[in-house]
Structure 1
């Protein structure tokens, strides 16, 4: 029978087994250099392929509904901004310049946008039109989302989820009680998932800030973007904020890092 300290050691070993410490990107001027733990059996290519299938399904559904924007002014605007940002990804990750980047705009009132693994970008017109986003603010959103893809935050989250599942399965096999398993799962969630989630958001903010600046977009727009997001929320936050929590500390961190990237912005103009 496991003693408490033995249970902790066992679960730690089970959760981290098969993991490798990596740093998916260069640190850049903003200094993002956290080591990430990824399951070696869950490769970058596998995650990219899985997401590509989901992305294509979303695009196909939008096309069938007649809401996929191709040559509209807003689509041309988004694609122009994306091209400038994608040209700068090599600063953080040289191999990303060879990704099969794809950008689509969907005519929908949703206040949402995302850039998934492998460089698949979707923007919803509602985000741009309802918040009256400037080009600089669109670049701030897109830079943030591209940063998530560059850092492989999706693969990192999947690796953690797999670790929790593996620890649970192994624990069940050796007879750890349900109460202990629930406690262990809660511990893994709070010790691994939540702190990294906050770290991931901060990393995406900072890398996105630098990407936009290098592409010639004013980094101060990152602050006005989140202010607009917060104002649009009211009692029901926009969908974008459901996975990208806003806070005063986020705005403060952006403001503190703007001086680091302002010279890059002036060079890129």
Structure 2
């Protein structure tokens, strides 16, 4: 009589474990479909191969200038350890990521920037680590954000959007030239302005999505998503001292902080579960002040 009971108990345990696993996949930031405009830019494998060639060329040029951190560099070791925790959760957002040849490199430059190219090729500039005095949680937010661009294929999507926008804008320019008798060269110039403005708005939308996907990746890996708020507060302070070029195409620090705060209730429970903590009793997040200028 005991065997059937044991059988049912084991079945209940399996069902419970499966339910918990499914919940772990479905909580956090919801996974949405990627834009079909990615397909306008061509095949994914070919696009990733081109990105690999660009990344390798960039590294070769940097090596010639002795601008690539060595394998023993403490900051590079730190970056790779953080990446090792984030990468296992990448496939939730893009199943192809499980097959990517992930790389992490550190460039010796004062530039405040980082990026992840299609196919999982990550690079950090030393300036973003030093000038912002980033904690591991904040590094994870930066890295998660950049990885998100690759996972959501924003570069390929942007290429598709630009192709469609440029064609559409030039058609409008040609129609305007013909209808109003405007010099075609003026029409082309106006079309270029329209295309540039549209690309800028697309970029900001991609940045906002990358913030949320990055928060989700970081939380699942056990990094505090509230670090994203501290990160962009620091970024705003540094930008006031010396404007950061790439921020001109990004949402303002205030806007992205608000975006993160609006979705924080979705990722804090994920972070708490990863750390084995009560989501209702999380300790406050503590950042590190910016270095004195």
User: TM-score, structure 2 length as denominator?
Assistant: 0.74
**8 A Cα contact 1:27 1:33, kept in partner:** no
Q: Which moved more, 1:76-85 or 1:159-168?
A: 159-168
> Aligned pair 1:199/2:200, yes or no?
no
TM superposition shift of 1:171: 7.2
* Structure 2 match to 1:19: none
Q: Which moved more, 1:235-244 or 1:133-142?
A: 235-244
Q: Which structure has the highest helix share of the two?
A: 2
* Structure 1 match to 2:127: 126
TM superposition shift of 1:100: 1.2
Q: Which moved more, 1:224-233 or 1:60-69?
A: 60-69
Q: Which structure has the highest strand share of the two?
A: 1
| Total equivalences in the alignment | 243
* Structure 2 match to 1:216: 222
Q: Which runs of 5+ in 2 are unaligned?
A: 1-24, 276-293
TM superposition shift of 1:50: 1.7
Q: Which moved more, 1:132-141 or 1:195-204?
A: 195-204
Q: Secondary structure at the match of 2:124?
A: strand
Q: Secondary structure at the match of 2:144?
A: helix
TM superposition shift of 1:162: 1.6
1:1-269 correspondence runs (5 A)? 29-31=28-30, 33=32, 36=35, 37-40=37-40, 42-69=42-69, 70-167=71-168, 176=178, 178=184, 179-183=186-190, 186-187=193-194, 189-190=196-197, 192-234=198-240, 236-269=242-275
**8 A Cα contact 1:112 1:239, kept in partner:** no
Distance 1:63 1:188 in 2: 36
Distance 1:137 1:124 in 2: 15
The Cα RMSD (Å) is: 2.6
TM superposition shift of 1:251: 0.5
Distance 2:196 2:138 in 1: 33
**8 A Cα contact 1:113 1:240, kept in partner:** no
Larger Rg: 2
User: TM-score, structure 1 length as denominator?
Assistant: 0.80
Q: Which runs of 5+ in 1 are unaligned?
A: 1-25
Distance 1:167-1:84 versus aligned 2 partners, 3 A rule: same
Q: Secondary structure at the match of 2:122?
A: strand
Which string of whole-angstrom CA distances, capped at 9 and with x for unpartnered residues, describes residues 87-112 of structure 1?
11012112111111111011111111
Distance 1:169-1:199 versus aligned 2 partners, 3 A rule: closer
**8 A Cα contact 1:28 1:92, kept in partner:** no
Distance 1:184-1:198 versus aligned 2 partners, 3 A rule: same
Q: Which moved more, 1:165-174 or 1:234-243?
A: 165-174
**8 A Cα contact 1:219 1:262, kept in partner:** yes
Q: Secondary structure at the match of 1:146?
A: helix
Q: Secondary structure at the match of 1:114?
A: strand
